[in-house]
Amino acid sequence: MRYVSTRGSAPGLGFADTVLAGLATDGGLYVPASWPSLPGSLPASYADLAAAVFAPFVDGEIDPATMQRLCGEAYSTFRHPDVVPLVELEPGHHLMELFHGPTLAFKDVALQLLGRLFDHILAERDERITIVGATSGDTGGAAIDGVLGCDRVDVVILYPHGRVSDVQRRQMTTVAADNVRTVAVDGTFDDCQDLVKAMFNHVEFRTRHNLSAINSINWARVMVQVVYYVEATRRLGAVDVTVPTGNFGNVLSGWIARRMGAPIRHLVVASNDNDILTRFFESHEMITRAVVPTLSPSMDIQVSSNFERLLFEMNGRDGGLTAEQMATFRATGRLAVESDQWHEWVEPVFRAGRATDHDTLETIRRVHESTGMLLDPHTAVGVKAAREHLGDLPMVTMATAHPAKFPDAVERATGVRPALPAHLADLMDRPERTARVANDLASVEAFVEAFVAGR
């Protein structure tokens, strides 16, 4: 299997190189040259199912027995025997709980495997990398936990000082591993992201330290998430699925599962007040606005990077055209699609919904009242949208975080403060280690330099 860039001018790569590269050199995202079909018979265990779904994408670059072992190791870190259990919320409406991994958000599903995948590929090549990433909350903890125990991967995570929740910060800063460092930057999340981009654009620095990224544009993250959509249809048959959406990574994985033959009818894209995608699916036009903070911060995004992969398909896989549209979008903040593209690609598949913070709190409160279950605010956005699209097929709403990860919103809605699971019960008492660094490229680079030199 070869991978091609959505902007058409970067060289094609094999699986392992695609995983290590993250972003293509032309600024595009890698996608497989063709979409394979699902295997005819699906293995029963989640780890075996994962290895079977990945096989055509990996295409022998990692031998199947090794892939199976890595999947087994990754999913043994989940606290539930089903890995991603289905729970019935109300008749015909199920939650797929994606939050039983170590850091309580769905990002663990991909990042627990990705760390192991990186380490395996690097051992074969006798190389090391330093992952540098910015986080607004969930990705940092999941990335750090995903590389614990990796021999060949060091990680530095930048987060905005004072702007992530206590639980989120402590999930990063209480990890006492030699290959992990966290940096509290005096600035916003956008400042952190700009610092990371600047380090990647500083080619001499990037090359000298073998910098790598594991944000959600990495193909492997999208690929790994396909499995739980297949799992949902393996258990329930044909379904509609609702996905709380920010960067369009999770829901894109659902689209890929559908494209590979999983019986998914509609994908409902659920947004909070940052509803650029919902407005797009209602109006055929994507128009950016300023980001507003909400109770579901992991969805506070205005430019959903992974949408580019769907756009590339809608453009008949024309990379030149996709590159042009992305440039126009960046310059003007507007992107429109033709009506024939709409009828072929969007209308049959996508539905959309939104929830304000008020809707989110109301949904958490009512679900608790009628079922006793506690929803996190991201999942609540999904449940609200899903209920507006219930049809004749079972609905599955992806539950993307554990309620204890966002205890303030849950308590505000229900009066109940959700408890952290046992493995994190003493999180608030563990010693923290972090560095406070100025919002300035030279200072952050000096920090990375000193860390790598000591490894």
Ligand X SMILES: *Cc1c(COP(=O)(O)O)cnc(C)c1O
Choose between 84 and 444: whose C-beta lies nearer to ligand X: 84
* Stretch near ligand X under the rule CB under 6 A, chosen from 244-252, 256-264, 286-294, 320-328: 244-252
Closest CA to 263 of 230, 219, 217, 224: 230
* Stretch near ligand X under the rule CB under 6 A, chosen from 37-45, 177-185, 248-256, 366-374: 248-256
- Pairing status of strand 86-90 against strand 211-212: unpaired
* Stretch near ligand X under the rule CB under 6 A, chosen from 77-85, 124-132, 242-250, 432-440: 242-250
Name residue 180's beta-bridge partners: 155
- Residue 220: Cβ within 10 Å count: 24
Choose between 322 and 397: whose C-beta lies nearer to ligand X: 397
Tell me the backbone φ, ψ of residue 143, rounded to 5 degrees. -65, -40
Position 254 contacts ligand X (CB under 6 A): no
Helix, strand or coil, per DSSP, at residue 215: coil
Closest CA to 200 of 189, 190, 210, 191: 210
Report the residue from 28, 32, 140, 244 that binds ligand X according to the rule CB under 6 A. Answer: 244
Closest CA to 155 of 185, 186, 177, 187: 177
Rule CB under 6 A: which of 114-153 touch ligand X? Answer: 138
> For residue 35, what is the DSSP state?
P
> Closest approach of Cβ 172 to ligand X, in Å?
14
Rule CB under 6 A: which of 319-338 touch ligand X? Answer: none
Name residue 336's beta-bridge partners: 285
Which uninterrupted H or E stretch holds 386?
helix 377-387
Tell me the backbone φ, ψ of residue 353, rounded to 5 degrees. -155, 170
Rule CB under 6 A: which of 359-398 touch ligand X? Answer: 378
Position 400 contacts ligand X (CB under 6 A): yes
For the question of residue 107 being annotated catalytic, the response is yes
Rounded distance, CA 204 to CA 208, Å? 6
* Stretch near ligand X under the rule CB under 6 A, chosen from 162-170, 247-255, 285-293, 330-338: 247-255
Query: Among the residues of 147-284, which ranges form H helices?
Result: 166-173, 189-201, 203-208, 219-236, 249-259, 276-283
DSSP string, 282-299: HHSEEE-------S-GGG
Rule CB under 6 A: which of 190-219 touch ligand X? Answer: 216
Report the residue from 53, 105, 185, 295 that binds ligand X according to the rule CB under 6 A. Answer: 105
Choose between 131 and 224: whose C-beta lies nearer to ligand X: 224
Position 407 contacts ligand X (CB under 6 A): no
Position 163 contacts ligand X (CB under 6 A): no
Choose between 62 and 83: whose C-beta lies nearer to ligand X: 83
* Stretch near ligand X under the rule CB under 6 A, chosen from 8-16, 203-211, 238-246, 446-454: 238-246
Position 245 contacts ligand X (CB under 6 A): yes
> Closest approach of Cβ 108 to ligand X, in Å?
10
Residue whose structure tokens are 């913070």: 357
Positions that interact with ligand X (CB under 6 A) = 105, 107, 138, 216, 244-250, 298-299, 378, 400-401
| Residues labelled as active-site residues | 107
